[in-house]
Structure 1
Amino acid sequence: MARPPRFDTGKLLDAAVALAAAGGPAAVTMSAVAQATGAPSGSVYHRFAGRTALLAEVWLRTVERFQQGYLAVLDGEADPRRAARAASRHVVAWCRENPDEATLLLYGAADFGRADWSGEHAARADLGNGRVFARLGGLAVSLGAGDEQARDRVALALVDLPLTVVRRHLRAGTPLPPYAEDLTEECTEALLGSMTAP
């Protein structure tokens, strides 16, 4: 039986996430990841063709993990209002459970070199974003969003609002208050309150 690699891709990416959370995307270099894990530089280069590929994988793994949970919550409720409230809460709960990854998501793909990503990495990003936007669009219709302003209201309630609740605490390095999920859900419900399903 082959021995598992001592420095697997997951551990290298975990180190890169910690570096990005502490010092921003600029802190994620091949040598910094090698030093943080005690891996030889060759091990890092064996798994990532260069810094651009490393940055792409750090961003994509983080976003895909978040999106997987977010979509599962949206799909787990048949009632659109309950789905909206649950999704809003999920953003805050996920950030609470994954503070380094959440801090990373305060940046954007552009900060992680999106312009220089390979076609494969860019396609992965587009596919994931497309799934989320499609699901949010379907939910907006179910909630009665018949025009652009109403669709913007849904995006504000389910994406922008929960991120705003956590952003200040993440940037300050302070823990989220215990009521953050409840506050987010209440605000989401208030924003959606005037909408009526078709």
Structure 2
Amino acid sequence: MARPPRFDTDQILDAAVRLAASAGPAGVTMSAVAQAIGAPSGSMYHRFPGRTALLAEVWLRTAERFQEGYVAALGSAPDPRAAARAAARHVVSWSRAHLREASLLLYGAEEFGRSDWSEQHKERADLGNQRVFGSLGSLAEALGAVDPKDHERVVLALIDLPLSVIRRHLRAGQPLPSHAEDLAEECAAALLLTITRPVAAGSERLRQGRSAGAPG
């Protein structure tokens, strides 16, 4: 009977996350990950056909874990403004609980070699982005967003702004301040107060699944 593998896929990807957080995407190589977990370099190729697949998997696993909680936050309350505040807080609270993963996501998929990914990996990334922007589109409708400026305001308030709260600290290797969640929530809520028009049918601009700016 064949022996079970000593290291499972999650252990390998966990090591890749640590390397990416400390040295960026360039630090994630097959040999570096193997060395980090004490495995023969050749054993890595039993799990991944090459470095491109490794980079895709470490990015996608991290992005999908973030997106799961973020989408849940966007639909967490009947009041769209309460849901928006929860989503802004989630970006910070998830990052606080997963500092290495959050540092990884700051690089963006392209820096993890997205252009060379397999079609299957690209489809996974696109589906995740579409899910996020579909939820943002529904929230934008509930808030009353009716024009491109309003839709950009929603993206700014719930993606770009919370990321800006954490980016400087993560890049400097500093802990997030205790007030970071409150700051992200307050700023997002203030920005969204300017959306006051009646709800309009359709939010195709966001529902199309824009990929730019979304974690994933």
Same fold per superposition (TM over 0.5) = yes
State the distance in 2 between where 1:2 and 1:71 align: 41
2:26 counterpart of 1:26: yes
TM-score (norm 1): 0.97
State the distance in 2 between where 1:185 and 1:112 align: 30
State the distance in 2 between where 1:111 and 1:137 align: 27
- Equivalent runs, 1:1-198 vs 2, <5 Å: 4-196=4-196, 198=199
* Structure 2 residue matching 1:6: 3-state secondary structure: coil
State the distance in 2 between where 1:166 and 1:81 align: 22
Specify every segment of 5 or more residues in structure 1 that has no aligned partner in the other structure, as ranges: none
TM-fit CA distance, 1:14: 0.3
TM-fit CA distance, 1:42: 2.4
TM-score (norm 2): 0.89
TM-fit CA distance, 1:43: 2.1
State the distance in 2 between where 1:109 and 1:38 align: 27
Report % sequence identity: 69
State the distance in 1 between where 2:186 and 2:41 align: 49
Aligned length: 198
TM-fit CA distance, 1:74: 1.4
State the distance in 1 between where 2:184 and 2:159 align: 11
Higher relative CO (CA 8 A, sep ≥ 6), structure 1 or 2? 2
What is the CA deviation profile of residues 55-104 of structure 1, one whole-angstrom value per residue up to 9, with x for unaligned ones? Answer: 00010000000000101111221210000000000000000000000000
Higher helix share: 1
TM-fit CA distance, 1:5: 2.9
State the distance in 2 between where 1:80 and 1:181 align: 18
Specify every segment of 5 or more residues in structure 2 that has no aligned partner in the other structure, as ranges: 200-216
State the distance in 2 between where 1:2 and 1:160 align: 49
* Structure 1 residue matching 2:177: 3-state secondary structure: coil
Answer whether contact 1:34 1:40 (CA < 8 A) is retained. yes
Answer whether contact 1:7 1:43 (CA < 8 A) is retained. no
Give the superposed CA RMSD. 1.3
Letter in 2 for 1:90: H
* Structure 1 residue matching 2:6: 3-state secondary structure: coil
Greater CA deviation, 142-151 or 36-45? 36-45
* Structure 2 residue matching 1:168: 3-state secondary structure: helix
Letter in 2 for 1:195: I
